[in-house]
Amino acid sequence: MVSQVRAKLKHFDLEEIQTADYEGAGFCIRCGEYHDCIEPDARNYRCEACGEMAVHGAQEIALMGLVR
């Protein structure tokens, strides 16, 4: 079950995560939308693009193992 959920999440390139971290941004782990002004450890913020509570800060995404 956990592997099925992880398969539905977006994965990001290391360069994307490094840039987002430098810029103080994050991504929606459902649709991949970039969001600025996000804390590095942000979790489950609402995505303006898809409406899901799935925006995470860059460092949090890295900790979640969603970096290729």
Instruction: Note the pLDDT tens digit of each residue in 3-60.
Output: 555 568 999 999 999 999 999 999 999 999 999 999 999 999 999 999 999 999 999 9
Phi, psi of 25 (to 5 degrees): -125, 180
**Nearest in space to 58 (alpha carbons), one of 37, 41, 33:** 41
Instruction: Provide the number of structural domains found in the chain.
Output: 1
pTM of the full predicted structure? 0.89
Question: Is 68 inside any structural domain?
Answer: no
Q: Which residues pair with 26 in a beta bridge?
A: 35, 57
CB atoms within 10 A of CB 12: 21
Nearest of 40, 45, 44 to residue 57 by alpha carbon: 40
Residues near 34 by Cβ (< 8 Å), separated by ≥ 6?
A: 20, 25, 26, 27
Domain that holds residue 31: 2-63
